[in-house]
Amino acid sequence: MQLEYFQMIDRVVEMDLDRRTIRIEAIVPEKSTVFEGHFPGHPLLPGTLMIEAMAQSLGFLTLNVLEWARVPLLTGVTKAKIRRFIEPETTLLIDATLLQDGQGYAVGEAEISHNGKRVANASLSYVVTPFPSEVMKSALLEVKERILNA
């Protein structure tokens, strides 16, 4: 993870496009400016960034299901729970499932775990649109190369 750059996912462990599932590894960094404020003397990964990590994991799966023809942009978070506090240098697993994709939308679920214990989970929805920018698409393709080959 590079929290300052919203790079929340580090490595694809498994991806099954037929079953529409993905497992991602994400390692919370030892140091980050985020921890200077959250919290002084007691660094914790913000719950909002856990949501972002789940959203990026399911988003990456959706991009691949859609064969990179369109991009999913997060529009809804429901049934979200932050169940454990996460400290720096923790290795997280993120499992996501794409449950339904229709014309212009995608919906799924994701869960973060650590050492077999559930850390957070949420239902997520996206609007699925043409890439608004070639720069954005190129940047996301770089992410693809990074996390598929890590």
Shortest Cβ distance from residue 127 to another protein (Å)? Answer: 6
Rounded distance between C-alpha atoms, residue 108 and residue 42, angstroms = 33
Comparing CB distances to another protein, the nearer of 35 and 126 is 126
- Contact status: 75 vs another protein (CB under 8 A): yes
Query: What are the tokens at 117?
Result: 């214990």
- Contact status: 103 vs another protein (CB under 8 A): yes
Which residue has 């200077």 as its token pair? Answer: 36
Comparing CB distances to another protein, the nearer of 37 and 76 is 76
Amino acid at the residue 96: A
54 in Cβ contact with 110 (< 8 Å): yes
The correct pick among 85, 104, 118, 132 for binding another protein (CB under 8 A) is: 104
38 is catalytic: yes
Rounded distance between C-alpha atoms, residue 24 and residue 81, angstroms = 19
Shortest Cβ distance from residue 58 to another protein (Å)? Answer: 15
Catalytic residue, chosen from 38, 83, 137, 144, is: 38
**Cα dihedral 142/149/93/46 (nearest 10):** -30
Residues known to be catalytic: 38
Interacting residue ranges for another protein, rule: CB under 8 A: 75-76, 100, 102-105, 107, 125, 127
